[in-house]
Amino acid sequence: MTDVIGVSALNLYVKSTLDGDAFLSDLALRGEVSGFVNHVKSGHWYFTLKDEKASVKAVMFRQEARRLGFVPQDGMRVVVRCRVSLYEATGSFQVYVQDLFPDGLGAAQLAFDQLKARLEQEGLFRPEHKKPLPAYPKHIGVVTSATGAALQDIRNVLSRRWPLATLLLAGVNVQGLGAAGEISEAIAALDSSGLADVIIVARGGGSREDLWVFNDERIARVAYACKTPLISAVGHEIDVTILDYVADLRAPTPSAAAELATPDREAERQKICTVLSNIHEYMHSRLNLCYNELAAAQQTAGQFTGEALCRPRRDKLLALCGQLHEASAERMTDKKRELASACALAHSLSPYAVLGRGYAILRSETGECIPVAALQSGQPVLLQGHGANARCRVEQVIQTQEDTNEKSKEF
């Protein structure tokens, strides 16, 4: 007889069986959303996935739902990455969704519009946030598939246009369930390394479903936080992704991104040649001008010898010397005349001229002039006359009437 087991044991067994199946642990499931419920308190999403014949309950926990850039709606066709298990408490067979992608044009457009509107409202598309590209990059980081055509296109353009730049490749998957995480991590790694002067995120053409990974919110936020200038080059010119809005510059193709990121070496060579030509022309024009000025100076200098240049100054100097000599002679004559007048006046006032007329000067023995009134009897004196001196002794001092009157006046 078969063993009897409880309901909980049955549910545990079924759950263990489902969890142990490798096929059911990582499954891509397509279906239509129905009965969608966004649990406000927990943040979990509950809904049903169904097709034309069957349905299955699905749950997406808050941490996975927050990473999704849009909110599913009833009737939206989606593809979910999930695992299949059993909720033991109720015995409910359900899928646990890790990621969710819109399936079909209408669903994809709705999800795209929702995410674009939310990120735009947050300011991730603002023009003032966009950074200019470097004029002459030395290292160009490229986030793309290591085996894709986009990488080869970029290499071809760089080798032709600006071979001085070094390509730093961050190889990633550009489509599939794990591609968004790889791309965002590669952008962050290149940016944090500080090695790249500019980063190109590239992928070749494909369907809208193939390019949907570049609408992932994680990539958008990493691109917005990137300090290195970033170029989005996804698909063709008609393909537009969320990354195109966030990036500092959008290129229609990977080849165009390589052209926008680098200068054209031929154009730069032409610029250098033009500058060199202008320098040479300027130097020749300056040399010709100097030669012309030198020839004119030599011609002018030949007309004036040293003697010709000095002659006017010599004549002027001779004239000034003549004037100076005349003025000096005239001044000398005036001074001689003034000196003769002064000498005649001095001679007329000299006491020695009086001696020539028979007068004498009374001096003491020491040679000092003394007045007669100061003489005393018996005092030796010296009489200085014209041509001879005489030593005398005073016998008597006789006071004259004039002296008496003078004394009376003084009294």
- Indicate whether 185 pLDDT > 90: yes
Q: What is the pLDDT of residue 403?
A: 55
**C-alpha dist (Å) from residue 307 to 41, 95, 193, 267, 315:** 113, 117, 80, 62, 12
Give the three-state DSSP class for 109.
helix
Which amino acid, residue 323? Q
380-394 average pLDDT score: 84
pLDDT over 90, % of the chain: 43
Residue with the bigger pLDDT between 233 and 355: it is 233
Token representation of residue 74: 């009833």
Which amino acid, residue 376? Q
Gap between the Cα atoms of 352 and 358, Å rounded: 10
**C-alpha dist (Å) from residue 385 to 2, 47, 343, 360, 362:** 189, 163, 22, 5, 9
Which of 359, 402, 404, 403 is closest to 383 using CA atoms?
Answer: 359
How does pLDDT run across 201-254, given as a tens digit for each residue?
999 888 777 888 899 899 999 999 999 999 999 988 888 999 999 999 999 999
| End-to-end Cα separation, the chain, in angstroms | 190
77-87 and 92-102: which strand pairing?
Answer: antiparallel
pTM: 0.54
Burial of 261 (0-12, 13-18, 19+ CB in 10 A): buried
Gap between the Cα atoms of 18 and 24, Å rounded: 7
45-50 and 166-171: which strand pairing?
Answer: unpaired
Least confident interval from 241-245, 256-260, 295-299, 331-335: 295-299
Q: What is the pLDDT of residue 405?
A: 55
Residue with tokens 């399936």: 103
Which of 120, 160, 219 is closest to 234 using CA atoms?
Answer: 219
